[in-house]
Copies of this chain bind each other. A is one copy, B any other.
Amino acid sequence: MADWYEERFRDVLSVGLRLTGRVFEGRSPFQRVEIVDTALWGRALVLDGIFQTAEREEFFYHEMLVHPAMTTAPSVRRVLVIGGGDGGTVREVLRHREVEQVVMIEIDPMVVEACQRHLTSIGTAWDDPRLDLRIADGVRYVQETDEPPFDVVILDVTDPVGPGEGLFDEAFYRGVARVLSPQGVFAAQTESAILMPEVFSAIERVLGTVFTRVHPYFGCTPIYGAGHWTWTYATNGADPMAIDAARLGRIEDGCRYYNGEVHAAAFAQPQFIRQLLDPSAGR
């Protein structure tokens, strides 16, 4: 009998992947952590029963979370990553050679340890000396730290339930603005605007109270239910269309989804997004 892993969304949608193996299972104070081998997408991380990322499709998500900010921020010397326990986000950040330090704040050591041991094809930069990994609470960190400001802050967390809950509200975003340099860029995954339009709209609205420029952008994430995904670029000083050509040139060949054309294209807003963000527009 084949072994399948099935994720359910709000008891209306299920996504099942056939497993070829179960690699790790543990329960941390924050969540249930599993690593499984799937026939379609390779080895995958599952948190509280929700697929997070998998070897053969993670590039869609990680490249789009990281590079729009990293190719356009005026400086990328100091980068803060909140979450991202699988290591894919810091791997992409560290491909930019101007990066001098990445502080990564992950709340759950079990995720990091399980991924460092079992998901080695995603987290390939754990040994980079520029990485400063700390197990801590990202919400408290951005509100309390007195370290120098960051040029880029990247939020790579699960859905706004469970351990990710405090990471989608105004107090957190004010903390992000507090640790960001004046020209800095904040990039975050901001959920599916199809499956969770109310969550997406709420995040955009709150970000708009903290940052002068808030630009959602769009792409696909095969392992997440409805395919269409959103990230958001927020800043008080940078220009999301001002790509540093040299920086882009150094990382583009190593990408599997992102490139300069995709960057510009990702910011095009479909009609239903325009209507969500401005209900008076369109039909």
Interface on A for B, CB 8 Å cutoff? 2, 4, 6, 11-18, 38-40, 57, 59-60, 194, 220-222, 224-229, 252-259, 261-262, 264-272, 274-275, 282-283
- Contact partners of A12 in chain B: CB under 8 A: 17-18, 38-40
- Contact partners of A220 in chain B: CB under 8 A: 220, 226-228
Sorted nearest first, the 9 A-B pairs with minimum C-beta distance are: A227-B227, A265-B265, A265-B268, A14-B16, A220-B228, A261-B268, A12-B40, A222-B226, A12-B39
Assembled-state Cα–Cα distance A71/B148 (Å) = 51
- Contact partners of A16 in chain B: CB under 8 A: 6, 13-16
Q: Which residue of B lies closest to A281 (CB)?
A: B253
- Contact partners of A268 in chain B: CB under 8 A: 259, 261-262, 264-265
Residue in B14, B253, B270, B274 whose beta carbon sits within 8 Å of that of A14 in the complex:
B14
- Contact partners of A4 in chain B: CB under 8 A: 14
Q: Which residue of B lies closest to A38 (CB)?
A: B12
Known contacts A253-B282, A261-B268; A57 and B194 CB within 8 A of each other: yes
Known contacts A16-B13, A261-B269, A268-B261; A254 and B283 CB within 8 A of each other: yes
Residue in B6, B13, B15, B222 whose beta carbon sits within 8 Å of that of A194 in the complex:
B222
**Minimum C-beta distance from A106 to chain B (A):** 27
- Contact partners of A13 in chain B: CB under 8 A: 15-18, 40
Assembled-state Cα–Cα distance A224/B229 (Å) = 15
**Minimum C-beta distance from A141 to chain B (A):** 33
- Contact partners of A271 in chain B: CB under 8 A: 252, 255-259, 262
Supply 18 A–B pairs (Cβ within 8 Å), ascending by A.
A11-B18, A12-B18, A13-B17, A16-B16, A57-B194, A60-B228, A220-B226, A220-B227, A220-B228, A222-B225, A224-B227, A255-B282, A256-B283, A259-B268, A262-B268, A262-B269, A262-B271, A265-B265
